Every structure is written in C-alpha cells, then in structure tokens.
Structure 1
Amino acid sequence: MIVTGASTGMGAATARELARRGFHVLAGVRRDSDGAALRAAGIEPVILDITNQQHLAALVARVDGDPQRRPLRALVNNAGIPAAGPIEVTPLDEWRRIFEVNLFGHIAVTQALLPALLRSKGRIVNISSVNGKLSMAGYGPYAASKHAMEAVSDALRNELAPDGVQVVVVEPGGVKTEMAGTGLARLSQLSAGMTPEQNARYGALVQGLPSHVAAFTKAGVTSDVAAKTIARAVIDRRPRTRYIIGAMAGFLIRASRFLPDRLLDRMTNSDLRKHYPAESGDRSTAAHHA
C-alpha cells in the first residue's frame, strides 16, 4: 500500500489504520521528522513530494525492488494543500501552485505507479472533497482543483476497468486536521494586497472565511474516523465508486445534485454570511435593490 501526504491528519491516520489491518504501508512524508513520528510496525515512511520527479522515481524503484516481492495493492492519493480566496484576487501563480499539488502531482504519482498497479490489478483511491462537488464564494481555487480531480477519477475509472484496476473517490467534508488552518495564512496575504475597490467587494467575505473554515472543521469527524472510511475504500471487495465522509458532506453533496442552483447559492451564501464581521453589509441584498 502507498499513502501520499501521510505526515499528519488523514494521511497519517490512514497509514496507521491500514497497518493495523495487517498491510505494509509506504507512507509518503515531507520530512524525516514526520517519518520518525509515524514509523511503526507495518509503516515504512518514505520521503515524498509528489511534485518532485526524483522522489517519484525513488518510490517506483522501491516498489519494483520490494525485498519481499509484495505486489502494490493500492495507491491512496491523499496529499494536498488547502486554499481560499476570491477568484479575482487570487494570483495565477497561486492557482498554478494549488493545481500542481492537488491535481498534477496526483496524476504524476498515478502515471508512475500504474505499471505496478496493472500487474497486481490493484486499486487507486483518490481523496477529493465535498468541494469537489460543491463550490461557493471564497473556495473557488481549492474547489476547482478538486472538481478537476473528480473528472480525472471518472475518466481513469473507465479507462482502467478493462484491465482490472479499480478507481475509487473519497469525498470528505469537515475533518479535524491541521490542514484547514494552514491555508489561511495566504488568505491574509491576499487581503493585504487587495485594492480599495476589491476590499469593498470581498472584504467581509475574506474576513469571514477563517471563522467559516473553523466552524466547518470543528463540526467534522476526527482523522481516525475518516481513516476507517478510506480503509474501506481500499479493501472493500466490491467498492463503491464514491465514499462520503461525514453527515454534513453527505447532505451538501445530495443537495448539490437535486436543488436548483439559485436555491443552493442562497443556502451557502446565508451560511457564509453568519461569519461576516457584524458591521459588514449584505452586497447581494444591496445588488438586488439597486
């Protein structure tokens, strides 16, 4: 088994859960210190930046040269970075950074390991998000990368099915990890660079996003609970094409399927506005009466 992004959070919990179930897990970490904290029976940390070709080549060599000749049963594409901010003020370089990790890095890992997965008729588990199905104000860059990952997963599932390789998507909602907070530092940088006109448009949204993220995360499940669902996606004999983590994610994904867009917009915007500064106005209401 390979789990990328296993330094902390869901990735680390998934590596531990799979090891607990008797599998040998190659756990991709960014630093030696992360690997030392994770190392345990059944878990072999490997230094892995999924955007680094040398790291990918070393991983392939490790899989192909496994001393016990174990086949690669599954790849869990979990690595990722958070992002938040209005479309207009998010620089293109930031868009590219987000997609480089959240999309292109996963494609690179998958391409590199497909020969081994084809030999073993293994499984690819792509960790998406509720934002892969539902986007809202302030979450566009991150949601776009996850929407793209959903599309790649659908195509890959159909391309590899004739060869016996299964592709599964996992869509978490709020999960209590460190990841949510790490994306907010860049949000403050975006805010500082906004023009007065942009601040008038998005100031309240940008100020409200940290509180919204914190509330969504607090209401979520633990990494250990999420890991149990991911493990099911890895080992279920006849897996579903998608697994949802968390009651809120389930509600939002179902709502996105059946509710009209305008109604869904009103729901998500209303929830966001609860986190706006008290003195901010409601631009949607103002625009409606203009």
Structure 2
Amino acid sequence: MNLQGKVAIVTGSGRGLGLAYAQDLAAHGAKVVINDIDEATAASAVESITSAGGEAVALVGAVGSTETANALVAKAVDTWGRLDILVTNAGVLRDTVLWKMSDEDFDLVINVHLRGTFTCVRAAATHMREQGEGGRIITIGSPTGQFGNFGQTNYAAAKAGIVGMTRTWALELARAGITANSVIPVAATSMTESVPFLKEYTDALAAGDPLPPFARKELGFGTPQDVAGLVTFLASDEAAEITGQAIGIGGDRLALYSHPTMIVTEIADNGWTAESIAAVWADKFAADQQSVGEKIPAPPSA
C-alpha cells in the first residue's frame, strides 16, 4: 500500500483517531498536514511522524470557517506542491438531552463537524479538480449518525449529514476521478471515555491490558490504530473504484453499511388519506418499523 508522492491533510490530528490516521498515512509514504487547535499538541504530532522518518507539517486552527479550510489546502500546496488526500476528522462533543441543549451547544457541534467537513472538502475538491489527477475524500461519520443516540441531537445531526454529503460528493466528483467515502469508527478516544457500557474496556486499555474478544469482535471496539488501516486503504490506488460508501471499523470488525432504502411499499389509487393509511398500517407496515439506537449485544455471562 504505497502512498509515496501523495500529500494528505488530516483535520483534528493532534491526538486520538486523527493522529492514528496521520501516522498510518505517513508510515505508508504520504506527506501529512497535521491540524489541531493547540500548537503544542500539533507540534508533538508532527514530531511523532518526523522522528519515525516521515514528513509532516502543522497548521493550527479550528475547522469550520472557509479561512481555515483554505489555509489547510494552501499549507499542503505551498509545502509540497499538491494535495491528494483529505481526511475530515476534527470534532467536538456537547452532549445533553434535547430540552436542555442550548443554541450554543448545538451550533458548536454543527459548525465543527458538519460545516467544518463541508468547508474543508469544498476547498480540497476545488484544488483536486484543478490539479486534474483525481483524489481521495475521506469523511468521518459515527454509529450515532447511523442509528441515533440518547443525548446527542447535535452530534447525530452532524454525523448523519456528513454521510449524506459524502454520497452527494461521490456523484459530483466522479468525473474528476475523486472518490468520497465515510468511515464509521468505533475506538477508545476521549469521545468514548464517558460511554458507560464501554468503561471497563476503556479502563483496560488505559491500564495496558488486552481487550477481550467480545469487545473486539461483538462490539467492534478497539484502539485508534485498529481504525487507521481503513483510512489508508481508502486513500490508496487500491480503492480507486470505491466511492459513496459508509464503512464501519473497530477492533476486529470491518462492516459495510447499507444505504437507506424503501423496505415496504403500498399503492393506493388516487393517493392516500389519513384514514386509508390507518386502515393498512397495522397489517402492511407495523411489523417492519425500524428500531432507533444501536443495539448493543449483551456481554457473555461470567
């Protein structure tokens, strides 16, 4: 999996999943622009790559604005003359139930995740099209965006929106040879530390203990390094024919998500009224109503 000569931007790559993506891309030969809001964190990430023989530079700034997006692309192009790969990883959480969520909590998460993905992809895709050699757009979704999750109105909206935008970009960018895919990761990061059913596993990793097979296989939960290989694969020439997909990874599990599709249809001559819908719902539709929230398997009994 050779990425020699390729240049990548990874937003939110000072630590956690973003750093794992950047390090793996660099280990496979890509030159990487690190992005973080903290200068020392960004510098440490760059050092972790250069000390291992890779090439990396940093651009400090919060994603969301057009200015930051343009600065990231300019950093890549000014430093190495090109841009081939964009990974939009930057994110924040402001979790609380709907009736307690403030405008500020909603707007911050939407701005960083959704608008930040949009502005960065717009800037990168514009340059890739002008460059004329194709490219790779890799956005980061979440199981919350696929299933919903209690207390995460803002995050669910952003992550679902990211996958929707990515499918649209796959259509719009195909003629330019640019692929667009979403990665749905599950890994131990600062964002999963507060998830109650994962606590024993995050504690185990923090203590340096191996995860049990149930966590790695049934829950698909592991380390950021377990996710990074999918990002590198999607950035490579091997994935040139893969676009518009939502692909999950975590621990030992790799999964392809379905696109939304109509699962039950009925036809009524001259259209439907409220009364005619009520008349058929129980027999024709009720059994196929979809669940909400991710269904977590029960751990094996002790």
Q: TM-score normalised by the shorter chain: which range applies?
A: 0.7 to 0.9
Query: How many residues are matched?
Result: 241
Q: Is residue 122 of structure 2 the alignment partner of residue 111 of structure 1? A: yes
Structure 1 residues 108 and 175: alpha-carbon distance in aligned structure 2, compared to 1, 3 A threshold: same
TM-score, normalising length: structure 2: 0.70
| Structure 1 stretch displaced more, 258-267 or 3-12 | 258-267
Q: Which residue of 2 aligns with 1:81?
A: 92
Cα offset, 1:121, TM superposition: 1.2
d(CA) in 2 for partners of 1:2 and 1:263? 37
d(CA) in 1 for partners of 2:106 and 2:141? 17
Q: Is residue 69 of structure 2 the alignment partner of residue 56 of structure 1? A: yes
Cα offset, 1:78, TM superposition: 0.8
Native 8 Å contact 1:48 1:56 kept in 2? no
Cα offset, 1:95, TM superposition: 0.9
- 1:264 pairs, out of 291, 294, 298, with 291
Cα offset, 1:131, TM superposition: 1.5
d(CA) in 2 for partners of 1:128 and 1:233? 15
Higher relative contact order (CA 8 A, sep 6+): 1
Q: Is residue 103 of structure 2 the alignment partner of residue 92 of structure 1? A: yes
Native 8 Å contact 1:74 1:117 kept in 2? no
* Superimposed CA distance per residue, residues 268-287 of structure 1 (whole angstroms, 9 cap, x where no aligned partner): 4xx69x9xxxxxxxxxxxxx
d(CA) in 1 for partners of 2:294 and 2:87? 33
The SS at the match of 2:57 is strand
Q: Is residue 225 of structure 2 the alignment partner of residue 224 of structure 1? A: yes
Equivalent position amino acid for 2:63 in 1:
I
Query: How do 1:1-290 residues align onto structure 2 when only pairs under 5 Å count?
Result: 1-39=8-46, 40=50, 41-66=54-79, 68-69=80-81, 71-118=82-129, 119=131, 120-172=133-185, 174-181=186-193, 210-212=195-197, 214=199, 219=215, 220-235=221-236, 236-239=239-242, 241-246=245-250, 264-265=291-292, 268=295
Equivalent position amino acid for 2:249 in 1:
I
Structure 1 residues 261 and 178: alpha-carbon distance in aligned structure 2, compared to 1, 3 A threshold: farther
Cα offset, 1:30, TM superposition: 1.5
Structure 1 residues 21 and 91: alpha-carbon distance in aligned structure 2, compared to 1, 3 A threshold: same
Cα offset, 1:54, TM superposition: 3.7
Structure 1 residues 227 and 89: alpha-carbon distance in aligned structure 2, compared to 1, 3 A threshold: same
Structure 1 residues 65 and 18: alpha-carbon distance in aligned structure 2, compared to 1, 3 A threshold: same
d(CA) in 1 for partners of 2:135 and 2:190? 30
% of aligned pairs identical? Answer: 22
d(CA) in 1 for partners of 2:45 and 2:87? 17
Structure 1 residues 251 and 12: alpha-carbon distance in aligned structure 2, compared to 1, 3 A threshold: closer
Native 8 Å contact 1:82 1:142 kept in 2? yes
The SS at the match of 2:63 is coil
Structure 1 residues 217 and 128: alpha-carbon distance in aligned structure 2, compared to 1, 3 A threshold: farther
Structure 1 residues 261 and 14: alpha-carbon distance in aligned structure 2, compared to 1, 3 A threshold: farther
Equivalent position amino acid for 2:114 in 1:
L
Cα offset, 1:43, TM superposition: 2.0
The SS at the match of 2:138 is strand
Structure 1 residues 151 and 86: alpha-carbon distance in aligned structure 2, compared to 1, 3 A threshold: same
* Superimposed CA distance per residue, residues 89-137 of structure 1 (whole angstroms, 9 cap, x where no aligned partner): 2112211111001100111111222222212311100011111211133
Q: Which residue of 2 aligns with 1:285?
A: none
Structure 1 residues 142 and 213: alpha-carbon distance in aligned structure 2, compared to 1, 3 A threshold: farther
Unmatched 5+ stretches in structure 2: 1-7, 204-214, 216-220, 264-285
Cα offset, 1:88, TM superposition: 1.8
Q: Which residue of 1 aligns with 2:283?
A: none
Is the helix fraction higher in 1 or 2? 1
Equivalent position amino acid for 2:122 in 1:
Q
d(CA) in 1 for partners of 2:140 and 2:41? 21
